[in-house]
Structure 1
Amino acid sequence: MGTLNPTAVKRWIALEMKRLREAAGYDRAAAAERIGKATTVIAHIETSRNLPAPADLEILLDFYGVPERASFFRDLTRRAKRGRDWWIKFDQGVYEWFNLYLGLETGAARISTVDLVVLPGLFQTRDYAHAVIREGRRWNSEAELATMVELRMARQEIVNRPEDAPHIWSILDESVLHRQTGGPKVMRDQLQHLMDLSERPNIDVQILPFAAGAHGASDGMFVLLDYPPEFGGDPGTVYVENRREGLYYEDREDLIRFRKTFERLQAQAENPGRTRDFIQKLAREVNDQ
């Protein structure tokens, strides 16, 4: 779990502590009584607001019937306390609701994306990102805008990790590639970059062609994050973003619905090989302009 960050670790501890309590048949009040503290202490642990104190962790895991997991949880809590989220230097320009996504994206083993308007941030060239971010909101200064572009570029480090880069599966609406974001030169470079990425073994790109007609993602983009095997029992996270906020779905039934939608879109979209041919054709057309 070398690439996992404090945000991802705290989230998993919170989810797992809640899951173990519910599996043992106890409510929060019973767990709080067992450690002699207020119910809010359990609530804060299970919402990742606070990490469990070492003594409380030992008692709770024994109470939940899994004392053998104490050593593993102690190691995780130490990591969460020692670690430092990489994006902290960009913190002034990051929406509070986006902090969690940055942590989950960094720790994900698989990232499945559906995008209908622009390319996913992990695939964007610097010039393309600048054009997209500039139009995204009103900026106080060029320096503030530049900081957000640097944040997007820094996120892409996970794509180039030498040992445990995530598997990324991207489904793009055809309109994304026709829209000349930033102008012809920017789009030409972006299409070539996308081609290069699509040839990597850990990246799959599919175009959802206009001919596919209506589809299951007509209500907008979403990202499905799955985590490493060490986070056993974690159902994953779906992230949906709009102009005002980022929404996180972690209920199993919600995740099943999003996974089924993604599978339907995979079936409707061009396969990765035909998609590469499609991108090449578009790149040539932009070159001819």
Structure 2
Amino acid sequence: MAMGLGPTARRRRLGAHLSELREKAGLTVSGVGEHMGASPQTIRNWEKGQASMKKMELAALLELYDAPHEVRQTLEDARREGSKRSWWSTYRLPEWFKPYVGLETDAALVCNFEQELIPGLLQTEDYARAIHTSGGHITDPEDVEKRVAARMERQRRLFDKDNPLELRAVISEAALQRKVGGRKVWSEQLEHLLTMADLPNVMFQVVSYEAGEHASMTSGFTVLEFSEPADPDVAYMESPLGGHVIEDNSDVTLLRNLFDELRSSAMPQRESVDLVREIAPGQPLTA
């Protein structure tokens, strides 16, 4: 998996430039859509980097915006790179999940809170497989192995020596206690969690039962941060019906603050690791 700037990030940056050029030209989204013979939503999707553009579409926009000639080739290069197939395109991921994977691929920091499950970036293959097969309505049996392989591929960035992904994970103690996949799979997952917690770029904390109520009792969520100021932070949430990326600045800020509250109420990493050892079968407790 390439660790450089991915297609999603290139589309987002291209979209930001197009939005800036449109506003500078004094045009509205509706007006541009009417000129292009496209819906306002299509224009918004281009500006948010949520959809690829054809070469002629970009050229027409840049002509409408009277964009400086020196930037037109740069933006066309970004369009072309953003239109390339992404590494996850062969993994049969659900359409609602692909935007998140694209963003996670380009993120510098992942802040993830989970209520019931070990975070995906810290799961073993067997644990991930058990989740995908826990209900026949959740994942088509023909897609299970592809989905598990994609999850393992996503984890590779945690081990990248040149550009490691930083992960801050907070989970409820319930996720540790839930024996997903049966006792053997569950036990191996807890052992794996202890191994992953040793990585310098992974911070793992547990909100224990003794902490009582906490800041997010209803659902888990993720906040992604990027190394470039041009790439604003985003958030992500899932439900039984799918997931969605959250880009509204106020909503992302709310979830980021919520995550900080959860970290404050969680045990420090060393105590969290000790709790995992206490729960995991056959794990020696530290002195």
Question: Match of 2:137, as an amino acid?
Answer: R
Q: Is the 8 A contact 2:108 2:166 kept in 1?
A: yes
Q: Percent identity among equivalent residues?
A: 29
Cα distance in 2, alignment partners of residues 282 and 234 from structure 1: 40
* Equivalent position SS for 1:135: coil
Matched, 1:276 2:273: yes
Aligned to 1:252: 249
Q: How does 1:52-201 map to 2 (within 5 A)?
A: 53=55, 55-56=59-60, 58-59=62-63, 70=72, 72-81=74-83, 83-91=84-92, 94-138=93-137, 142-201=141-200
- Structure 1 outlier segments of 4+, above 6 Å: none
Cα distance in 1, alignment partners of residues 139 and 240 from structure 2: 18
How far is the alpha carbon of 1:176 from its aligned partner? 0.6
Q: Is the 8 A contact 2:235 2:245 kept in 1?
A: yes
Q: Deviation digits for residues 95-147 of structure 1, max 9, x if unmatched?
A: 21111112111111111100000111111111111211111443787543333
Cα distance in 1, alignment partners of residues 268 and 105 from structure 2: 27
Q: 1:22 to 1:260 in 2, by over 3 A?
A: farther
Structure with the higher helix share, 1 or 2: 1
Q: Deviation digits for residues 49-107 of structure 1, max 9, x if unmatched?
A: 332645346446755xx8775565343223123x321122222xx22111111211111
Structure 1 range deviating more: 203-212 or 158-167: 158-167
Q: Is the 8 A contact 2:97 2:244 kept in 1?
A: no
Aligned to 2:221: 222
Of 241, 262, 265, the residue aligned with 1:265 is 262
* Equivalent position SS for 2:216: coil
Question: Match of 1:212, as an amino acid?
Answer: A
Cα distance in 1, alignment partners of residues 181 and 283 from structure 2: 13
* Equivalent position SS for 2:204: strand
* Equivalent position SS for 2:215: coil
Which sections of structure 1, spanning at least 5 residues, go unmatched?
A: none
Aligned to 2:46: 45
Q: Is the 8 A contact 1:209 1:269 kept in 2?
A: yes
How far is the alpha carbon of 1:252 from its aligned partner? 0.6
Question: Match of 2:77, as an amino acid?
Answer: D
Aligned to 1:237: 234
How far is the alpha carbon of 1:18 from its aligned partner? 2.8
Cα distance in 2, alignment partners of residues 223 and 45 from structure 1: 24
* Equivalent position SS for 2:99: helix
How far is the alpha carbon of 1:277 from its aligned partner? 1.9
* Alignment root-mean-square deviation, CA: 3.0
How far is the alpha carbon of 1:235 from its aligned partner? 2.2
Question: Match of 1:210, as an amino acid?
Answer: Y
Number of matched pairs:
279
Q: Is the 8 A contact 1:109 1:227 kept in 2?
A: yes
How far is the alpha carbon of 1:186 from its aligned partner? 1.6
Q: Is the 8 A contact 1:29 1:39 kept in 2?
A: no
Which sections of structure 2, spanning at least 5 residues, go unmatched?
A: none
TM-score by length of 1: 0.83
How far is the alpha carbon of 1:190 from its aligned partner? 1.0
Cα distance in 1, alignment partners of residues 22 and 180 from structure 2: 49
Matched, 1:10 2:14: no
